[in-house]
Amino acid sequence: MAEAERIIGTPDITGAEGSGETGPDGAAASPEAGAADGQDTGATAADAEAEAEAAVDRSPATRRRRIILLFCVALVAYLLDLGSKMLVVAKLEHQEPIELIGDWLKLDAIRNAGAAFGFGEAFTIIFTVIAATVIVVIARLARKLYSLPWAIALGLLLGGALGNLTDRIFRAPGVFEGAVVDFIAPAHFAVFNLADSAIVCGGILIVLLSFKGLDPDGTVHKD
């Protein structure tokens, strides 16, 4: 019997005893298991970011719709501004101001050679160049535009910039030196027009979108 045991041999259990931890079923755990567990948090964050990126619809059709919306908003803002200025020049210029809400809000036609709200009248040409630059920048951003709110914000900026730039080019005293028609006159505030309002509304919306981490291409980032 002893001779048979010597020939068959006994199980080598020393390697199993020194191999480390075992799983619930008694099997030895693989060395990579701990490392994989340590990477769970990073993998989860990366997966969440990848899912957010994948959720953005970047199809050509979506970009085309956003661009169409941008130009539609810009066109509406531009036409409202242009029409209001034509009406003011024809009916209100060189006339007494019209009181809408007593002394708090009036319609008073003036010619403004400066920037929005009457600031910087000595830099008419500079403001004209800035307006033209804004239009070019918006046109470039439109190539990667997939966000609906950004399309509205950029449309307001574009329409307002075009409205005032039209005055700069076509009104007296000359090309790129023309005075902008302003007519909305709140009490204790500068006189402005609808183009100024569109620019301010678009700018405020862009600031809010930036605080929320929403980019023009539709991605959301967390700082």
Question: Which residues are tagged catalytic?
Answer: 182, 196
Tokens 């609906």, residue located: 148
- Straight-line distance from the first to the last Cα atom of the chain, in angstroms, rounded to the nearest whole number: 76
**Amino acid letter, 32:** E
Total number of residues shown for the chain: 223
Gap between the Cα atoms of 184 and 109, Å rounded = 8
Gap between the Cα atoms of 89 and 107, Å rounded = 12
**Amino acid letter, 129:** V
Strand order in the sheet with 105-112: 98-101, 105-112, 180-186
Gap between the Cα atoms of 99 and 190, Å rounded = 16
Gap between the Cα atoms of 107 and 101, Å rounded = 10
Contact residues for 206 (Cβ-Cβ < 8 A; gap 6+):
150, 153, 154, 157
Gap between the Cα atoms of 152 and 216, Å rounded = 11
